[in-house]
Structure 1
Amino acid sequence: MSPTRRIVIMAEGHFEWHYGKTATGIIRYSQDPVVAVIDSTHAGQDAAQALGGDLGRGIPVVQDIHEALRYQPTTLIIGVAPIGGDLPRAWRAQLLTAIEAGLEIISGLHYFIADDPELRAAAERRGVTIWDVRRPPDKKVVAAYKPHRPGSHTVLTVGSDCATGKMTVAIELDRAARARGLNSAFFATGQTGIMIAGRGLPVDRIISDFIAGMVEEMTLELAAQHDWVFVEGQGSINHPGYSPVTLGLLHGSLPDAMIFCHQAGATTIEGYPHCPLPPLPRLIQMNEEVVNWLHRQHNSKVVGISLITRGLSLQQAEEAIRRTEDETGLPTTDVLRFGPEKLLTALLQHFGAATS
């Protein structure tokens, strides 16, 4: 994203950790300043108070776009990910006001703002840019099953459910790798990651026949330039609604290793109370099996686990990590609470690379 942007995030009624994960991701990782968040249910607080933590301290949460304009934003980002991805009807007037004020619009919804006749016409009159992040490239690519460049390492984040931190872990590992002087890249595959990285593939909008092929194409491109490629995972192979996109990512990226992401204490798929989660060792085995149906070396492994321990005390988080390590035999951490170094070290050891 351009360093000239001043961002206001639209998160009306959803400025929280789950459905507001785009908002929290932008606040945490964007190189551009977030000057305000719109959510009337938390107006008058700052973002940290609304989220119940430290993230977003000093960023005001405001009533509406009119109040947000006082902070001189240049860009409005839609910062929620509702089921179905439609544009809430009540937001239309606020978007029109933002466009009239000259704000660039960035949206990760499945509903394309630029295809809306009223919003598109308003943007054209004002000379405003609309970026629908989920609009897929206009191309069709079927997987060719090509090998990655020898010496490169592709790492995919997988998980037990949606919203288990797969993007966060991939970004944190990429940053940690580059801090160690490694030649590393982050491959964004979802709307928030693309907003942060400025490029990527919106895999949940690509026709199913072409998911694996387009992921393969970009993985090969990145692996040709970088020794480490950290691919952002989506959904989960055991998810009743979103497993197809997960399968496309597994077979398209054909990772040499995986990091498994899980919400500590979760026992069912979120929103599906009658869909219990298998034990973690079985979930890990499932992902390894699916990759190794096609992986040429047949040795792709999950080499570490990242837990979300938000809401747990420090002692409870450490106990959850110990239990997970005992259950799986794999190094485990919470990358936001304790950093990604344990996982990066596990990856380096797995590939026989130096850990200094």
Structure 2
Amino acid sequence: MRRIVILAEGAFTLHRAKTATGVIRYSKDEILAVIDSTHMGKDVAQALEVPLGEGIPMVQDIHEALRLKPDTLMIGIAPQGGALPASWRWQLLTAIEHGLDIISGLHTFLADDDELREAAEKKGVTLWDVRRAPDQTRVAQFTPHRPGSHTVLMVGSDCSAGKMTVALELERVARQRGLDGAFLATGQTGIMISNDGLPIDHLISDFIAGMVEEKVLEMSNAHEWVFVEGQGALTHPGYSPVTLGLIHGSVPDAMIFCHLATAKTIDGYERCPMPSLSRLIQINEDAINWIRQDGQCKVVGLALMTVGLSEEEARVAIQQAEEETGLPTTDVIRFGAEKLMDALQQHFSTR
């Protein structure tokens, strides 16, 4: 159990600090505070304007956070490009000077920074660069999973569409039902939560499918259900290669599709309008069945993120999605993941 303070200076919003919010929601570690002087005096729930992190204070800087006696500082954002904001460096150096380990999901590695590495070595603290990839030599072999195991992959229409959240919520519901479920993290936040997984976006493209295959085989041999966190989207102009490697490496037995209800275009790409849900689902089913060819892997449920909508608007959006796709649909944060787990169990019971 770590005692963590999260650094998100000037960036603590649901979208920009999804690493921070994911850890706050799901980590078993104790989250003591979030550093963002623009929200000083509030708690996390007040800063985000959602019911998450009630009672966790927003503090001005690392000096104020140190009064809570943390043992770890976590960087709470993963910006495009993944560089450490220059204005944050002093806070990391102060944390290291006071003996705190540092956890980072940035693309640029703290341990490769001479100043930070030397300071950490002097104080005997750990710099954990979560995205640092393991040795990569495995090309996918298309090896069958253990008979009787169920591998479920979260796919989606965009980044930040709730794929990690849905996988974790399905794992939780599975365990509540007495099923042997496990979560496979493929992104920095999921790895921080589970202390295991693969940093997919730092793997060499030739080895993505092979590394995912190896991990899924390991987990499906040990567990009845494996819920695989998705990344990116097949229709994303920047990140589709990662998504395809994950689909072909995990060779899922079923998929859950994740989508932001209010999205009209790919985030940050206004010239990329969002296809219909039915078309998006078809694209993902086609991609896995290029190699499966048995046609058995289907999207069996739809997870909508309805943030920004009233509860009534959310229910209308869910009903519209169900009517368009014919799939059971829910928002797992607002209404739980039970409907999706029901759909998965029904899918496998009829095979």
Q: Residue in 2 aligned with 1:309?
A: 306
State how far apart, in whole Å, the 2-side matches of 1:140 and 1:43 are: 47
Displacement of 1:227 in angstroms is 1.1
Verify: 1:328 aligned to 2:325, yes or no. Answer: yes
Displacement of 1:139 in angstroms is 2.7
8 A Cα contact 2:136 2:203, kept in partner: no
**Residue 119 of structure 1: which of 112, 116, 121 is its match?**
116
**Residue 273 of structure 1: which of 256, 270, 273 is its match?**
270
State how far apart, in whole Å, the 2-side matches of 1:41 and 1:272 are: 28
Verify: 1:51 aligned to 2:57, yes or no. Answer: no
Q: Which deviates further from its counterpart, 276-285 or 10-19?
A: 10-19
Q: Residue in 2 aligned with 1:93?
A: 90
Q: Residue in 1 aligned with 2:236?
A: 239
Residue type matched to 2:263 in 1? A
**Residue 282 of structure 1: which of 267, 272, 279 is its match?**
279
Verify: 1:165 aligned to 2:162, yes or no. Answer: yes
Displacement of 1:63 in angstroms is 1.1
Q: Residue in 2 aligned with 1:255?
A: 252
Verify: 1:218 aligned to 2:215, yes or no. Answer: yes
Unaligned runs of 5+ in 2: none
Secondary structure of the residue that 1:172 maps to in structure 2?
A: helix
Displacement of 1:75 in angstroms is 0.5
Displacement of 1:296 in angstroms is 5.2
**Residue 196 of structure 1: which of 177, 193, 197 is its match?**
193
Unaligned runs of 5+ in 1: none
Verify: 1:79 aligned to 2:76, yes or no. Answer: yes
Q: Percent identity?
A: 67
Residue type matched to 2:241 in 1? P
Residue type matched to 2:78 in 1? A
Verify: 1:142 aligned to 2:146, yes or no. Answer: no
Verify: 1:338 aligned to 2:335, yes or no. Answer: yes
Secondary structure of the residue that 2:292 maps to in structure 1?
A: coil
State how far apart, in whole Å, the 1-side matches of 2:62 and 2:225 are: 41
Alignment deviations for residues 248-299 of structure 1 (CA, whole Å, 9 cap, x no partner): 0000001110000000121100000110011000000000000000115322
State how far apart, in whole Å, the 1-side matches of 2:16 and 2:171 are: 25
Residue type matched to 1:279 in 2? S
Secondary structure of the residue that 1:292 maps to in structure 2?
A: helix
**Residue 15 of structure 1: which of 2, 12, 17 is its match?**
12
State how far apart, in whole Å, the 2-side matches of 1:263 and 1:28 are: 19
Residue type matched to 1:307 in 2? L
State how far apart, in whole Å, the 2-side matches of 1:310 and 1:298 are: 34
Q: Residue in 2 aligned with 1:64?
A: 61
Q: What TM-score comes out, normalization by structure 2 length?
A: 0.99
Displacement of 1:165 in angstroms is 0.3
State how far apart, in whole Å, the 1-side matches of 2:28 and 2:43 are: 19
State how far apart, in whole Å, the 2-side matches of 1:278 and 1:176 are: 31
Residue type matched to 1:349 in 2? Q
Q: Residue in 2 aligned with 1:27?
A: 24
State how far apart, in whole Å, the 1-side matches of 2:260 and 2:136 are: 36
Displacement of 1:22 in angstroms is 0.4
Residue type matched to 2:199 in 1? P
State how far apart, in whole Å, the 2-side matches of 1:120 and 1:335 are: 40
**Residue 156 of structure 1: which of 153, 156, 177 is its match?**
153
Verify: 1:42 aligned to 2:47, yes or no. Answer: no
Q: Which deviates further from its counterpart, 51-60 or 293-302?
A: 293-302
Residue type matched to 1:22 in 2? T
Verify: 1:109 aligned to 2:106, yes or no. Answer: yes
Displacement of 1:33 in angstroms is 1.2
State how far apart, in whole Å, the 2-side matches of 1:50 and 1:33 are: 19
State how far apart, in whole Å, the 2-side matches of 1:120 and 1:51 are: 33
State how far apart, in whole Å, the 1-side matches of 2:67 and 2:148 are: 51
8 A Cα contact 2:234 2:243, kept in partner: yes
Q: What TM-score comes out, normalization by structure 1 length?
A: 0.97
Number of matched pairs: 351
Residue type matched to 1:118 in 2? E
Alignment deviations for residues 80-120 of structure 1 (CA, whole Å, 9 cap, x no partner): 01111111111111100000010010000001001110000
Q: Residue in 1 aligned with 2:345?
A: 348
Residue type matched to 2:337 in 1? P
Displacement of 1:324 in angstroms is 0.4
